[in-house]
Amino acid sequence: MQNLTTTLSACNASSIPYPVVFGANVLDLTATLVQNYTGAFDPETQSHSIAARNIDFCNVTVTYTHEGQNETINVETWLPIDKWNGRLQAVGGGGWVAGRFSISYLAMDDALGEGYVATTTDGGLGTAASPDPWALNSPGNVNLYALQNLASRSLNDQSFIAKDVTKSFYGHAAKYSYWNGCSQGGRQGFMLAQRYPEAYDGIMAGAPAINWNELFFNAAWAQVMMSMTNQFPTKCELDALTKAAVASCDLLDGVADDMVSDVDNCFFDPFSMVGSVRNCTSTGKAVTISEGAAVIANATWEGPRGPDGEFLWYGVDLASDLTGSDGSDGSPFQLAIATTTCNANGTCTGAPAGLGEAWLQLFVKKDPEWNYTLISSVEEYTRLLKSAIQEYESIIETADPDLSEYRKVGGKIMTFHGLADGIIPHKATDDYYRRVMDLDTNVDDFFRYFQVPGLGHCKGGPAREPPATFHALVDWVEKDVVPETLPVSFNDTAGTHYDRFLCPYPMKTRLISKDSDVTKAESYECAL
């Protein structure tokens, strides 16, 4: 790490010139000295992040607009006062948020704690968790400038602004710059690689929300099916079906570890459990699995299908959490796409996550008075999906497999995706990687993808995100150390600790011998 001491007086707006961004007009630049910083509050651990402690940094916030577009965009950049490592790290958003919210600040803590300049942008959308405040100029009229900023334009602006501010503050440019994001942040990363290949030297893009229309229609599919069939299964029923599916497929890889690793060979019939009785841990009562629960679970796993069974998009995996958590039981808040709420009388209704439903309401129908329960048939759902793809594909789809320009500039990409992701189907990332490989058979020279058994959406589930992914990307970019594997570790429900590693797709981690110690990494190999 470079040992650089920057005088406190450098954190002064008058000494930092406005950055120049083509097509943009900088409205303001503030510089605030932050001393003895303690990391942001982490809702997952219910405590303040330990990544950044007692750190002094300069928070430079640049406010700008694109003339005639009536927006105000903020790019926030944290510059370490002492011991800058000479690198810049931009962090992504999540859900409907471009950046500058809790997940972004936790990621900035991590970056700052390791000596990076850290930067995030709100894309001009503010910090609202939903698109309601900005999606429509008026009923029927989508705010396309705001959507374009979320999709792509603000991301390129951010790279120019953060690099310019960094150079002005320290007197020289960052030697390397990186993107780091998951979900929306993963989509943003791929958009940068596809449209702005010179923005970052390395991109870490986890569980990417690419194939935007298909993804968001799939996120609404379970709720649409509940509404159309008038079947609203309880959380206990869906959780019991998921538990049974995991149990039926756990041993496919030869290891009983409470996870499904061999997802390609995992098949489970939820209708085989109809009428069976299961204990409900959340209520302490027994629950009988209904046919409606099997219908909704099967539809969510299978994914959207047209009126004649036409494939529309991928469903989530059988190991995915279909019902999520609202945090009331002390567990981390977790979005899910098949959630219901039930009153004291046992009457249940759909509880949409606000992802696909919002896209349908505000961008496809363009009507804040409309909602997904008005979809009366699979034919109508299919028609809406195809119409949305036609209208928005060029703006936000982010699934162009041609990464040749990013390869030419020497960029490197790494992504991971949980095999228990209940929001974004990992099969979509599989599909994207295969399409990139169809165009470039040597894709693994610059782009590597790792499937993570047991991992939910970015975090959560029996497993956790591979901790060395970003560091492996840095070593790949700067030292040409190819990430052949990524180390992971986890505990099963019995508390048994496992050390293992992930293999780059399409290879999988395979047990070498049935007689091996399944808890040890050396008992595994990478194989097709």
Q: Which positions are annotated as active-site residues?
A: 183, 421, 457
Rg (CA), the chain: 23
* Residue 185, both tokens: 């942040």
Determine the Cα–Cα distance for residues 131 and 135; give it in Å rounded to an integer.
5
List all residues 6 or more positions away from 22 whose beta carbon is below 8 Å from its beta carbon: none
Q: What secondary structure letter does DSSP report for 472?
A: H
User: What does the block give as tokens for 406?
Assistant: 């990013």
Q: For the chain, what is the largest distance between any 2 Cα atoms, rounded to a whole number of angstroms?
A: 72
Residue 111, CB-side half-sphere exposure with 13 Å CA sphere: 29
Task: Report which of 130, 325, 361 is spatially closest to residue 223, judged by C-alpha positions.
Answer: 361
Give the residue from 418, 491, 515, 448 showing the smallest Cα distance to 204.
Answer: 448
Q: Which two tokens stand for residue 395?
A: 């703006």
Burial class (CB in 10 A: 0-12, 13-18, 19+), 488: buried
Count of all residues that appear for the chain in the document: 528
Residue 362 has what DSSP assignment?
A: I
User: What are the structure tokens assigned to 275, written together?
Assistant: 């009428």
- Cis peptide preceding 332, ω within 30 of 0: no
- CA nearest 99: which of 128, 121, 79, 70? 121
Which two structure tokens, joined as six digits, stand for 214? 């298909």
* Phi, psi dihedral angles at 277 (to 5 degrees): -110, 135
**H or E, element range at 349:** strand 348-350
